[in-house]
Amino acid sequence: MHDLKELGLWLAARGTEQQLLVPSSLPDPCFQLDGRELVSFSTNNYLAIANSTRLKARAKEALERYGVGNCESRLLGGNLELYDLLEARLARIKRKEAALVFATGYLTNLGVLPALVRSTQLARAYGYRTRKSWTHAFFSDEFNHLSIREGMRASGAPVVSFRHVDMADLERKLQSSNADVKFIVTDGVFSQHGDIAPLPEIISLADRYDAFVYLDDAHGTGVLGPTGAGTPEYFGIESPRLIHMGTLSKAYGSIGGFVATDEYVANILRLGCSAYGFTSTLPPDQAAAVLEAIDMVEDEPERRQQLWENQQLFVACMQEAGFTLGCTLTPIVPLLVGDEVECARLAAGLRTGGFHVDAIMFPAVARGQSRLRFIMNAHHTAEHIHRVVQTLRSM
């Protein structure tokens, strides 16, 4: 452990050690910290649903009926009807035949991606004999979320990285691959950059090179598209090649993850994905809350409308103040700073001024690419937005 102690002292001396906040309430987007009210510009609770009266009432009802947690595996007595209802709703939203829910979004990627490759190995134990030895390969955007990268690594299949949203580079690598089964893997909305994957071009390449597309739409689900169905709806795309992944802990204000796909793939994952069958799933009250959140996204469209109005106001104010922003297509709007010490200083200064903005630094982004990641919220007010821009400008 001496090496870790030495490393810890070195990190502390650099001045970029991140201090964990200990708030006494959760952002809506306002929250309490050390007796002060701060306004969060970093919460993933995009639509301010997590603290809503409707969501809490639905969760409380399920809590009284089912208790605090589900201590059983879905395969061994823990498969409540509530989960089947939730999976059916998620499948309809993503226009797929079936869906599976998991305890977290991170666990979804960590379990599903290896299972897509390794399920045939499990089936051999039951006598399955494939007509050939299939080879697999993943083609991954270089800026994909860590959970995606860890899931692919756990599969044991080759992983080919392509330059961020560079379709020419992706095509070159697909063209040179001899794999029998190809998976193009991408975020829908990139969490540290705020840009959107060029899904029409990706689907076109998948058609051309007979590949599947695994889309992590954690930051698109509930936010993008006319009804909030996510990145495919934003582009008006449906494809049998698409495997949709999403989280329930962002726009839906709860906890959990899911994958929506064809029925035959879902059946294989139920048996071959250890993250589904060898652990407990999300608590029943959270499943009930997500069902209510889905209803809210559909019948309270004003939340999504206000989110986008706030995004447009923030971008306009920042540009008027002379700041050069990164991508401005989504509620994630990064301000590139570069230097880690300067980024940490700006975040601390904003906190002093009454705002919480995440300083995103290595290893979340590359060295020299540190940024303040602003995330818009449906409950931000115009006063919040004008004041945070003015505070930043004064620094």
- pLDDT block averages, 10 residues each, the chain of length 395: 85 70 89 93 97 96 92 84 97 98 96 91 72 89 96 96 98 97 98 96 98 98 97 97 97 97 94 89 95 97 98 97 94 94 93 94 85 97 98 93
Locate tokens 């952002």: which residue?
Answer: 27
d(CA 98, CA 115): 16
- Please report the pLDDT score of residue 8 as a whole number: 82
Please answer whether residues 101 and 258 qualify as being in contact, where contact means their C-beta atoms are separated by less than 8 angstroms. Answer: yes
Q: What dotted CATH number matches 18-46+301-394?
A: 3.90.1150.10
d(CA 373, CA 271): 39
d(CA 342, CA 344): 5
- For 250-308, what is each residue's pLDDT tens digit? 999 999 999 999 999 999 999 889 999 889 899 999 999 999 999 999 999 999 999 99
Task: Answer yes or no: CATH 3.40.640.10 is held by domain 53-298.
Answer: yes
d(CA 116, CA 127): 19
CA separation (Å) from 316 to 67, 131, 320, 323, 394? 47, 59, 6, 10, 18
Instruction: Name 321's bridge partners.
Output: none
DSSP 109-149: HHHHHHHHHHHHHHHHTTT---SS---EEEEEETT--HHHH
* Domain residue limits, the chain: 18-46+301-394, 53-298
- Please report the pLDDT score of residue 15 as a whole number: 64
CB atoms within 10 A of CB 14: 10
Q: Where are the alpha helices (DSSP H) in the chain?
A: 2-14, 53-66, 81-93, 105-124, 146-155, 167-175, 199-209, 231-235, 263-272, 274-277, 284-299, 301-320, 340-352, 382-394
Please answer whether residues 182 and 174 qualify as being in contact, where contact means their C-beta atoms are separated by less than 8 angstroms. Answer: yes
What is the chain's length? 395
- For 101-129, what is each residue's pLDDT tens digit? 999 999 999 999 999 998 777 767 677 77
